[in-house]
Amino acid sequence: MNKGGIAFFYLNFIFVISFMGQCRGQENYDSLNLLLKNSQGKQKVNISIKLSKLVSDTSPSLGFVFACDALRESTYLNYPKGKADSRILIGNYFKIQGKYLLALKFYLGSQQLYANLKDREGILNGYQAIGSLSLLLRDYNDAIIYFQKGLILAGSLHKFTWVGIFLRELGKIEQKKGNLEIALGKYKQALLALQQGGEKESVLSVYNSIGSIYLDQGRYDDAIEFYTQLLNIREPAILSQLGSIYTPIAHAYDQKGLYQKAISYNFKALAVRKKLNQMEAYNSSIINIAGDYFFLNKIDSAWIYMSEGLKIAKANNRPYLLENGYRILYKYFNSRDDFKTALFYYQKFAAIGDSIIIEKNKGDIAILEGNQRIQNIEEGNVILGRENEIQLLSLKNQRFQIIFLQVILSFAFIMIIFSFFQYIRNIRAKKDIQQIYGRMSKEVIDLEEANKLIREQEGQYRFLAENSVDFITRFDKNMNRIYASPASVRVFGYTPEEILGKSTNDLTHPDFYDFAIRNFQEMLLEKTSKQFIYLAPRKNGEIFWVESVLNPIFNNNTGELEEVVEVTRDIQERKIKEMEIMEGTKQKENLLKEIHHRVKNNFAILVSLINMQKEQTKTPELIQSLTDLQLRIRTMALVHEMLYRSKDFENISFSDYIRSLSAVITGTFNRRDIRLNFDVQDITMDIDTAIPLGLIINEILSNGYKHAFPNNQPGSIWIGLKEQPDNSELCLTVRDDGIGLPKDFDVEKCKSMGFQIVLILVKQIEGIMTVINEPGAMVSIIFSRAK
């Protein structure tokens, strides 16, 4: 076997030795997933969050799905704790995917929810998440701000574990900035706090960070000795951190040029990380092993591990691991004087580094561009306003000049006419003046009436707006509020003057921002009124339910939006009543469920009493009668049991009922030589129809087991239930291939109790029964669906 084959075999071997650990994780996942299917409400949210945390390391996409399910269910239930926890997990997913701005958005949303809940533990978790994201993006100033906030809060609450965690993170920042002595001081403070809090895994991580300072200082022998001492500690916490100890030892040997020793420790780290499902660290170890193989000049093995490591890093969007892999390839080919290949991998290495920096700056660039656009719009509005003022002044001057010119020309014309045609002009002037006066009088009267009507309508509208219990507001085409009715005080607690400065988001709960935007866009698209219900905050911070109706007003000529009128109503009391009604309905359902349960239990008691009677009876005929009676009781009890287990307390799946009932009857007669076949459509049926039909099937099927196959003769029985072509009737069929009924058999004249029961029950469901003999026997009953 060549060197590449040996390496590939060893890599597969590591996969095998970690299989047992994966199985245990799978068992935990399966049990939680099964519990999730049978849960609801807040319990369902909490289980989804646990599942997301369980699978996030091994399957980030699946963890993201569980977190989204938890957020959706929490929003529906208005469960703030669930919304906050799920937002943290969604932010972690986007952080892994390199979508840092989205991750920050979800972290900040969870932080606000934790603050509203006064959940101090959640707030600390949020500070740590946001600070770690900033640290990842090398934004050390923001990272320090959040870690300092967390440190102050944790100290005030005497949470020593959190104090140690934030001190450790601050030490990492100082170490990355090159302040190694300051970093060492932070790490020592973190150790004291974590030891006081009893957090052994975090204590070990701080020891690991102290060892990394030795590596940064080039003290490789001291680093190897330090990490080797950590390996001698036999604590459970060490086991989960073994990979983080083996890797620095391997790095120290790499720096000393002892690649054979380095690769042995990298293989140990690889095995541990795979066994513990530490997939990102496992990916890193594969690339490290590839680097050692390159410098040991075992090229086949090196390429196998490097190809696998880069493939996993690309699939899981891990730019820092890709950056490390390309750096190793660049250094290797450069050391071999293969400058062309070295340049190729250096370009890839530089491109990955640039993409990380670009992703970091995307959020800042977007914010700057947004601010610039807002500033440009505001400056444009100022310029347009000034131009409008100038145009209005110019228009007024032009009107004044026109009027003045008209007066002068009219006066000159009158003087000329007066000089030459005084007499004629006087007569005509009188007539013209009279006509003009008449028209003007009429126009003045019409104008006064129109103004009066407008004032009356405006007064009515103003009276309605100012005295309405609903809050009425108007927006211009840019969604700037231009009117607010006095009802704003009653609904939101703000005066109309205060509310004019509020945007739509200021009067909407953050969880409904996207919901409000969708409704607004649908209103613009459909050009119709839009009604929706959402949560809103009052001035005093209280959250309550409101109902709003958006009425858009469009320009008839251009079709553009000119104005929006919104009417908002406080429906908090209505919502409370709805919840009370829902609670009452739930109580009634529970009561009905309990009734079915008790009826089923009473039937079970009857069956047990009959069993006691059978044990004391020696007469075979009486024992058979008691057995038949037990089957009839079980037939009725089975309906109540299915209703008890169903969410619908009025209807059951009759196909499932037939199969369950047949199993009970088959078990009673213990005839394995008789094969039972079903051709049953999936039909639901109410209890009033299900019980009689069940008793009919019990009597016919029991009769078949007793008489159709004597002397242990084998055979088959078929049970069918289908809809008739017009879907208004159903057909129940029970047939067998046994010896058949007697030739002179007449259903109406049959005196057996079983057939008498069947006839009575067929009449009860208003059905028509047909009995066909030879070959075997077949009973067919056609009946109407229950109304």
Question: Which one, of 206, 179, 201, lies nearest residue 190 by Cα?
Answer: 206
Question: Which one, of 644, 718, 716, lies nearest residue 687 by Cα?
Answer: 644
Strands 651-653 and 674-680: unpaired
CB 232 within 8 A of CB 195: no
* % pLDDT > 90, the chain: 8
Average pLDDT for residues 418-430, to the nearest whole number? 71
Q: Can you identify the CATH homologous superfamily of domain 468-570?
A: PAS domain (3.30.450.20)
Question: Which one, of 149, 188, 150, lies nearest residue 168 by Cα?
Answer: 188
Positions of E strands within 426-560? 471-476, 481-484, 530-537, 543-554
> Which letter does DSSP use for residue 786 in this model?
P
Lowest mean pLDDT among 273-287, 405-419, 662-676: 405-419
Q: Can you identify the CATH homologous superfamily of domain 662-787?
A: Histidine kinase-like ATPase, C-terminal domain (3.30.565.10)
Strands 715-723 and 674-680: parallel
| Angle (CA) 338 341 342, round 5° | 75
Q: At what angle do helices 160-176 and 200-216 cross, to 10 degrees?
A: 10
Average pLDDT for residues 235-259, to the nearest whole number? 79
Lowest mean pLDDT among 28-37, 633-642, 761-770: 633-642
Lowest mean pLDDT among 397-401, 483-487, 695-699: 397-401
- How far apart (Å, rounded) are the C-alpha atoms in residues 72 and 162? 30
> Which letter does DSSP use for residue 506 in this model?
G
Beta bridge partners of 530: 550
Average pLDDT for residues 378-395, to the nearest whole number? 54
Pull the structure tokens for residue 588: 């009634």
At 13, the pLDDT band (50, 70, 90 cuts) reads very low
Provide the pLDDT for residue 720: 92
Pull the structure tokens for residue 669: 């007669």
Max CA pair span of the chain: 148
CB 54 within 8 A of CB 28: yes
H or E element, residue 652: strand 651-653
3-state helix, strand, coil in the chain (%, to 5): 70, 10, 20
| Residue reference for tokens 């590939």 | 8
**pLDDT tens digits for range 318-356:** 887 888 888 888 888 888 888 888 888 888 888 887 666
Pull the structure tokens for residue 154: 């944790």
Q: Torsion-angle region of residue 41: left (phi > 0), alpha (psi -120 to 50) or beta?
A: left
From first CA to last CA, the distance across the chain in angstroms is: 78
- Beta strands across the sheet bearing 674-680: 674-680, 715-723, 729-736, 777-784, 768-773
Domain boundaries, the chain: 28-96, 421-464, 468-570, 573-649, 662-787
CB 212 within 8 A of CB 251: no
Close Cβ partners of 301 (under 8 Å, ≥ 6 residues apart): 3, 4, 6, 7, 293
pTM for the full predicted model: 0.40
Separation in Å, CA 54 to CA 9, 27, 67, 107, 323: 30, 11, 11, 20, 28
Lowest mean pLDDT among 725-729, 746-750, 754-758: 746-750
At 17, the pLDDT band (50, 70, 90 cuts) reads very low
Lowest mean pLDDT among 83-87, 194-198, 334-338: 194-198
H or E element, residue 120: helix 120-136
At 507, the pLDDT band (50, 70, 90 cuts) reads confident
- How far apart (Å, rounded) are the C-alpha atoms in residues 635 and 629? 10
Strands 777-784 and 768-773: antiparallel
Q: Tell me whether residue 237 is exposed, middle or buried, using C-beta atoms within 10 angstroms of its C-beta: 0 to 12, 13 to 18, 19 or more.
A: middle
3-state secondary structure 732-770: EEEEECCCCCCCCCCCCCCCCHHHHHHHHHHHHCCCEEE
Q: Hey, CA dihedral for 44, 45, 50, 51, is it positive or negative?
A: positive
